[in-house]
Chains A and B, each alone.
Chain A
Amino acid sequence: MRATNWPARIRQFWVRFSKNHAAVAGLVIVAALVAVSAGANLIRANDIFNINPGQTFESPSWSHPFGTDNLGRDMFSLFLYAGRVSFEVGFTAAAVSVLLGTLLGSIAGFYGGVVDDVIMRFTEMFLAIPILLLGLTILIIYGPGLSHVVFVIAVLSWPVTARLVRAEFLTLKEREFVEGLRAVGAPNHVIIFNEIMPNALIPVIINASLQVGAAITVEAGLSFLGLGDPSNPSWGYLLQQAQTFLTRAWWIATFPGIGLLLAILSLSLIGDGLNDALNPRLAEKG
């Protein structure tokens, strides 16, 4: 199972991925959004907390491409900084959730029996509970703040990954190579992490980009409900602020939403592309 020529594999992956033009477009858009958000300081040095009472509610212009808000702050600067927060939360929460899901899913699938039953019952329970409502219940008790939001999203979204990994493990552990490893006395943790895991990761990788999009969506929703962190505004937080001035200044609500839409849409397109590239059997649609 180990005879891999990585450079050739990566080249093959890219050839397949790049055949999906929408996925490539998605990748370009996400990369661009991440880059401008990460470089917010360089692009716009304006302090986002800089209040200008003389420039409130200015519609988009050359000096303020996205207009200004009720405090006269430059919405373009706010957009860049907020994008950084949205992506940070999205990527971190998705990473934690995927790790957690992979760990629990592999244990459930590998050991089976009671362990599997207990973990899967938890998974089903988390899938049945309204996530947004549980998330906001936790946040209102323990207080908002970025690390809490990341924790809440990660803890609530691992079941999807756990299910995928469990299903992979259930089929993989019956394969001959696992039997062989058992026969030569390889310890369980070696079989799980070194041998089965690498083969079970493809659906996880495909799903991960959707998880990032989902995490960004949930964070936006929580922020919109007033559970965002005012000192770290995200796109959802900006939309919450915009709600009050909706009838007065269209630009305050419009641009952060476009950011969200582009990010979520592109991540979903990337997921499609990854699926085509890594899952060639299923790539023939229809």
Chain B
Amino acid sequence: MGGKEPSALANYVVRRLLEGIPVVFAVLVLNFLLIALYPGDPAQILAGQEATPQYLQQIRIIYGLDRPIYERFFDYLWAIFHGNLGYSFFFQEPVTSLILQKLPATLMLLGTAMVIASLIGILMGVEAARKPHSLRDGVVSAVSLLGYSTPNFWLGQLAILLFSVNLRWLPVAGMTTLTQQLGGLAYVADVLRHLVLPASVLGVYQVALIAHLQRGSMLEVLRQNFILALRSKGLSERSIVYKHALRNAILPVLTVIAFDISALLGGAVLVETVFDWPGIGRMVFDAIIAGDYPVITGTFVVVSIGVVMVNLVTDVIYALVDPRIHYR
């Protein structure tokens, strides 16, 4: 924190939070316009493709589709601020409670993928930067290029073919073994066995990205004078790299990891679909197939706001941790 004025920091945090408001508002407007500007019958979108004429009429009255657009917009905002995102005819449940129900599985998948990928990616990046243009560096570059270029859902299919179908090491899909009633530790172990493949597959792109960034950031730090000073003091290379250099080189990488959450979420939709993982992504896929619009627009709103929040929190934490940051 080193001698920062608390008021300057508080100002920065408040300003950053205020900057988030227009983005959230824009998401809400965008979502509203997507439905409102639909050339057909918006009631059809809100109610879903399989709605009965009676239900459609009910929707028109509830949403006041005959009224002017600005009145409808305020009603829509009102509903969203009260946590009402509509009703899913396919899942037969309010969208809000549906999302809350599916969220833990997605967070578990994202969290696991992110932690594993960060550890592996940072390690790979550091090791590559220690000996630039060596064989080790080349391998890291090749692996990250490959990881960057492989569509994760296809990688998931290959992983299922290899580890589940051929080798029979891991389950093909789902989060639990449905045929068995497991309790306690056996249940946890069962979930973990189901988690291994989807989390690894989801993490591959992140490993590629993180390794690449960490390599660049580490190379820059290793060129600085204080590293030379530490070397001349006779510190071991391992201690210089992992204790002193990494502390300086890791921060920009961690920020990018946090900012890349929206790409990771997109990836999770695909990976959950491949592995039938019962989270938000699989729910979205089921909703697409069923033409269940409220689930999709509701998820878009919730996830976008979530991403904006995560980005804000990252910025604030970054400001707290890094004494060099300028409060713009």
Alpha-carbon distance between A124 and B300 when the two chains are bound, in angstroms:
17
Assess whether B172 is interfacial by the CB under 8 Å rule: yes
Alpha-carbon distance between A225 and B285 when the two chains are bound, in angstroms:
6
Mask, A242-286, CB within 8 Å of B = 1, is: 110011001001101100110011001100000000000000011
Interface residues on chain A, number (Cβ under 8 Å): 43
Q: How far is the CB of B118 from chain A (nearest CB, A)?
A: 20
Q: Do A142 and B38 touch (CB < 8 A)?
A: yes
Q: Do B145 and A265 touch (CB < 8 A)?
A: yes
Alpha-carbon distance between A286 and B157 when the two chains are bound, in angstroms:
36
Q: Which residues of A contact B23 (CB under 8 A)?
A: 124-125, 128
Alpha-carbon distance between A236 and B151 when the two chains are bound, in angstroms:
9
Assess whether B176 is interfacial by the CB under 8 Å rule: no
Q: Do A129 and B262 touch (CB < 8 A)?
A: yes
Q: How far is the CB of B150 from chain A (nearest CB, A)?
A: 5
| Segment with Cβ contacts to A, from B61-69, B179-187, B245-253, B286-294 | B286-294
Assess whether B307 is interfacial by the CB under 8 Å rule: yes
Q: Do B262 and A253 touch (CB < 8 A)?
A: no
Q: Do A140 and B293 touch (CB < 8 A)?
A: yes
Which listed residue (B289, B293, B308) contacts A141, Cβ 8 A? B293
Assess whether A121 is interfacial by the CB under 8 Å rule: yes
Q: Which residues of A contact B27 (CB under 8 A)?
A: 125, 129
Looking at chain A's contact residues, is the secondary structure mostly helix, strand, loop, or mixed? helix
Q: Do A226 and B288 touch (CB < 8 A)?
A: yes
Q: Do B35 and A141 touch (CB < 8 A)?
A: yes
Q: Do A257 and B151 touch (CB < 8 A)?
A: yes
Assess whether A131 is interfacial by the CB under 8 Å rule: yes
Alpha-carbon distance between A242 and B151 when the two chains are bound, in angstroms:
15
Assess whether B209 is interfacial by the CB under 8 Å rule: no
Among residues 116 to 141 in chain A, which have CB atoms less than 8 Å away from a CB atom of chain B?
121, 124-125, 128-134, 136-138, 140-141
Beyond A128-B262, A257-B158, is A247–B34 a contact (Cβ under 8 Å)?
no
Q: For the side of the interface on B, what is the size category? A: 35 or more
Assess whether A217 is interfacial by the CB under 8 Å rule: yes
Q: Do A130 and B157 touch (CB < 8 A)?
A: no
Alpha-carbon distance between A264 and B297 when the two chains are bound, in angstroms:
30
Assess whether A57 is interfacial by the CB under 8 Å rule: no
Q: Do B288 and A121 touch (CB < 8 A)?
A: no
Q: Which residues of B contact A225 (CB under 8 A)?
A: 269-270, 273, 284-285, 288
Q: Do B157 and A121 touch (CB < 8 A)?
A: no
Q: Do B219 and A134 touch (CB < 8 A)?
A: no
Assess whether A23 is interfacial by the CB under 8 Å rule: no
Q: Which residues of A contact B266 (CB under 8 A)?
A: 130-133, 221
Which listed residue (A134, A138, A239, A268) contacts B148, Cβ 8 A? A268
Q: Nearest chain-B residue to A213 (Cβ)?
A: B149
13 contacts between A and B (CB under 8 A): A128-B311, A130-B300, A131-B262, A138-B34, A142-B38, A217-B151, A221-B153, A221-B266, A225-B285, A226-B289, A239-B157, A246-B161, A268-B148
Chain B interface residues (CB < 8 Å from chain A): 22-23, 26-27, 30-31, 34-35, 38, 45, 132-133, 145-146, 148-151, 153-154, 157-158, 160-161, 164-165, 172, 219, 262-263, 265-266, 269-270, 273-274, 284-285, 288-289, 291, 293, 296-297, 299-300, 303-304, 307-308, 311
Beyond A140-B296, A268-B145: 5 further Cβ-contacts under 8 Å? A133-B269, A243-B273, A247-B172, A253-B154, A261-B154
